Structure 1
Amino acid sequence: MPVPVISATVAAVILALQLILMITVGLHRVKSQTNIGVGDDPDLERKIRRHGNLAENAAIFLVVLALAELVGGSPVILCWVGMAFVVARASHAIAFSSLTGSHGESGSKLFVLARVIGAFGTFASGLFLAGYLIYFLNMA
């Protein structure tokens, strides 16, 4: 059985991003002395939300990417969809670096745009990957 190198690479990048986001939550908790929940701290809330949002989207995407790779999907297609997912998730994390992107407060519209790119890119890459796997399995 071939090693799913593309999926492993995407997983490593996503894990690095996940760890960075996890550390930002932990450091904020120490600084604000908020051990459980968010208190009345919108900055802590957005950090938790961006960390959790990555976690809830990454796992299923990586499983399906690995399955598509293991059944013989096109490495070029899988590499592109994997890169699109990474860019989307990084864009979403950037958006949630600001209360503008996470809570709609006034500020740079670039954070709002990054959130749209992140959300749409995550949806589009996941939908494409699911469709591609179903198509590939029916054509094999």
Structure 2
Amino acid sequence: MTLPITLTIAAGAALINIWLGTRISRLRLRDKVSVGDAGNAAILNRMRPAEANFTEYTPFFLILLALIELAAGSPTWLWIVAVVFIVGRLLHPFGMDRPAPNKLRMIGILTTWLILVGLAGYALVLASTYRPQPAVTYAEHTAL
């Protein structure tokens, strides 16, 4: 079974992850830092935490998205939630690039949390209302 929403969003998330990593790599190349941050405040305080934050939350989101999509969750609702999640995850690193407190960062974080709570709740509803379908026997299948 193909999961078009999850596949599309996972591809987008992979590209964002690469972008976040290349931001750090460019600074490391510029400053000739092979490992770590060598005291570079941009890497230490902004870029690395933005990348780490993305990699902490995105797997949970993608797992919930895939399982809800498999459980016949509403495609329209899932597309909206998925796009809002991606926008929130993009706002966060742009907010990290600016002095704190920052609205972009806060919106990115709150969006992520609210979406994860919403998906978790939706997953629980789907799980609690799940009724297994009776298995189709070979005789019933061939009669169809």
Question: TM-score scaled to structure 1, two decimals?
Answer: 0.86
Preserved CA contact (<8 Å) 1:29 1:35: yes
Q: Contact 1:92–1:118 at 8 Å: present in 2 too?
A: yes
Larger radius of gyration: 2
Relative to structure 2, which stretch is displaced further, 38-47 or 21-30?
Answer: 38-47
Partner of 1:72: 72
Determine the structure 2 residue equivalent to 1:3: 2
Matched, 1:128 2:143: no
Q: Count the aligned residue pairs.
A: 129
Who is 1:137 aligned against?
127
User: Equivalent residues in 2 for 1:40-51 (5 A)?
Assistant: 40-45=39-44, 46-51=46-51
| Consecutive unaligned residues in structure 2, runs of 5 or more | 131-144
Query: Residue 92 of structure 1 aligns to a residue in which SS?
Result: helix
Q: CA deviation at 1:37?
A: 2.0
Offset of residue 35 of structure 1:
2.0
Unmatched segments (≥5 aa) in structure 1? none
Matches within 5 A, 1:22-37: 22-37=21-36
- Deviation track 1:43-67 (CA, whole Å, cap 9, x = no partner) reads 1121111111111111111011001
How far off is 1:84 after superposition?
A: 1.5
> How big is each residue's C-alpha offset from its partner over 1:64-89, in whole Å with a ceiling of 9 and x where there is no partner?
10011011111111111111111110
Q: CA deviation at 1:40?
A: 2.0
1:15 aligned partner? 14
Structure-1 residue corresponding to 2:141: none
Give the Cα–Cα distance (whole angstroms) in 1 for the partners of residues 48 and 116 of structure 2.
Answer: 23
Q: Which residue does 2:103 correspond to in 1? A: 113
Structure 1 segments (4+ residues) deviating >6 Å: none
Identity of aligned residues (%): 26
Q: Which residue of 2 aligns with 1:87?
A: 87
* Residues 3, 70 of structure 1: 8 Å contact kept: no
Alpha-carbon distance in structure 2 between the residues aligned to 1:62 and 1:50: 18
Give distance in 2, aligned partners of 1:73 and 1:119: 24
| Root-mean-square deviation over aligned CA pairs | 1.3
- Report the alpha carbon displacement of residue 97 of structure 1 after superposing the two structures with TM: 2.4
